[in-house]
C-alpha cells in the first residue's frame, strides 16, 4: 500500500481551507480511539492525562487480576498499555509509575498463584531494570518511588527463577541509596 509521505501531506494540507481542515480532523477523530485520546490530551490536558493513566493502570491490573475469572497474564498487552500511555501523554513520571506498577502486580500475581515461568520473570526484571535506570537519572524520582521499589524486593522473597535475587541486585545498584 502506498502511503503519503510527510512532506507531501504538508503540501496537501496547505491547500485546504480552515473548514476542510476541521472536517478532516473531525473525521479522523471519529475513526480512531488513539486520535481521540491524543487530541483530548492536547486540548484538555492534565484531566485527560489522569484519566488515561487510570485506564492504563486498570488495563495492566486486569491482565493479572480481572474482576471475574482468572488473569490472562498477557504481558504484551499490559506493556502495550504503558507504551500507549507514554506515546499519548509524554508524561514521564506517570509512565515510570506504570512501569513499576506492572512489576508490583506481576509480583503479587506470582505470590497469589505460584511459580510462573522464566519468560514471565525476565519480563518483570527487565521492566524493573528500566525503572531503576530512570531513577538513576533523577534522584527526585527515586525518592518518590523508593518505598515501592524496596517493597517489590521484599514481596519477591521466596520466588524462584532468581527473581528475588535479580530484583535485589538491581535495587542495591542504585547510587542514591545510603550506605
pLDDT single digits (tens) 66-95: 999 889 999 999 999 999 999 999 999 999
Q: How far is 96 from 56, CA to CA, in rounded Å?
A: 12
Q: How far is 78 from 59, CA to CA, in rounded Å?
A: 7
Q: How far is 93 from 55, CA to CA, in rounded Å?
A: 16
Task: Quote the mean pLDDT of the chain.
Answer: 94
Q: Between the CA atoms of 173, 131, 120 and 151, what dihedral angle is there, to the nearest 10 degrees?
A: 70
Q: What is the DSSP letter of 45?
A: T
Q: Name the residue ranges covered by the structural domains of the chain.
A: 32-172
Looking at residue 176, its pLDDT comes to 83
Q: For cell 508490583, what's the residue?
A: 104
Cα 36 to Cα 27, 40, 84, 94: the distances in Å are: 11, 6, 13, 20
CA 69 centroid distance within chain: 24
Encode pLDDT of 40-63 as tens digits: 998 998 999 999 999 999 999 999
Encode pLDDT of 137-168 as tens digits: 999 999 999 999 999 999 999 998 899 999 99
Helical H segments across the chain, by residue range: 6-15, 18-31, 33-44, 46-64, 75-89, 92-113, 118-137, 139-155, 163-172
Amino acid at each position: 500500500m502506498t502511503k503519503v509521505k510527510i512532506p507531501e501531506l504538508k503540501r496537501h494540507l496547505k491547500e485546504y481551507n480552515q473548514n476542510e481542515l476541521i472536517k478532516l480532523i473531525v473525521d479522523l477523530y471519529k475513526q480512531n480511539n488513539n486520535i481521540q485520546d491524543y487530541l483530548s490530551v492536547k486540548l484538555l490536558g492534565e484531566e485527560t492525562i489522569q484519566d488515561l493513566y487510570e485506564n492504563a493502570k486498570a488495563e495492566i491490573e486486569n491482565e493479572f487480576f480481572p474482576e471475574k475469572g482468572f488473569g490472562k497474564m498477557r504481558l504484551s498487552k499490559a506493556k502495550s498499555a504503558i507504551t500507549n500511555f507514554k506515546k499519548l501523554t509524554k508524561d514521564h513520571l506517570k509512565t515510570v509509575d506504570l512501569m513499576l506498577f506492572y512489576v508490583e502486580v506481576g509480583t503479587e500475581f506470582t505470590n497469589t498463584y505460584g511459580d510462573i515461568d522464566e519468560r514471565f520473570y525476565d519480563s518483570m526484571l527487565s521492566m524493573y531494570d528500566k525503572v531503576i535506570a530512570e531513577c538513576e537519572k533523577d534522584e527526585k524520582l527515586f525518592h518518590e518511588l523508593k518505598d515501592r521499589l524496596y517493597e517489590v524486593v521484599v514481596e519477591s522473597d521466596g520466588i524462584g527463577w532468581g527473581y528475588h535475587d535479580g530484583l535485589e541486585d538491581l535495587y542495591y545498584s542504585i547510587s542514591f541509596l545510603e550506605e
